[in-house]
Amino acid sequence: MSLFDQLTQPNIMGILNVTPDSFSDGGQFSAVDAAVEQARKMLAEGASIIDIGGESTRPGSDSVSAEQQIQRVVPVIKAIRAELSEAVEISIDTSLAAVAEAAINAGATMINDISGGQQDSKILHVAAQYEVPIILMHMQGSPKTMQDAPGYTSVVDEVLQHLHECIDAALAAGVAKNKIAIDPGIGFGKRKQDNLDLLAALQRFVASGYPVLLGTSRKRFMGSICAVSDPTELVVATATTTALGVMQGVQLFRVHDVKENKQAADVAWAIKQAV
């Protein structure tokens, strides 16, 4: 049985960046003690998954070696396993097979790959070998270049087609169908209108039959709409997209601000159940 088989209502994935340079919380949780305390807080606020990443993927960021990512994430995963619930779902946010395997051996239970298995195809074989769920995201380009000049003829169709190609590759590598989820990749190689078009068409991704992860948390395109430059001031904007996502059938939400987004998801879910 996969976590994705048990998604009967919206689930919150709390972001735990153990990096010095993430776009809105870089350096805050680099120390193991601080990371564990943040994980404890997010679980108390309603997160059901903790997503741990050792590489910033903000626009313009440089890649981080597998060795450095492992050095950052493995001690945190081990500490969370030792100090918090044995049952907590821990996701490793990486596109490298070596990092994913080290994280799983340390206690991670799923993989979140922003490249959709495209950067290092061996990561698909790691997911298959260890029988862990994997989230496949769409990204045009790489974090370093993705916002230079993104462009689409029909963004929803193109992102869906790409994700189906990623799914086919995962299935061919031996990943079970019930262990695959997809993510349209809001903000990853997308213009503001592209992001809005994808958010308006989330039901088409849900109709694929695979669980959908939505990751809009504190994203810059919302700041341009709200005339806000500080990402930490976009909590309400993020929660708005969470509620809209719930109404369209999305069941996984990757966020920095767990409490607020859990409230938004719970209220939207109650309304959806009443319709």
For the annotated catalytic residues, the residue numbers are 219, 254
Q: What are phi and psi of 192, to 5 degrees?
A: -55, -45
Alpha carbon distance 218, 159 (integer Å): 22
Strand-pairing partners, residue 89, are: 49
Return the closest-CA partner of residue 242 out of 8, 62, 13, 36.
Answer: 13
Alpha carbon distance 90, 87 (integer Å): 9
Residue 26 · residue 20 · CB < 8 Å: yes
Alpha carbon distance 240, 88 (integer Å): 26
Alpha carbon distance 138, 112 (integer Å): 12
Length of the chain: 275
Amino acid identity of residue 53, one-letter, is G
Alpha carbon distance 15, 235 (integer Å): 14
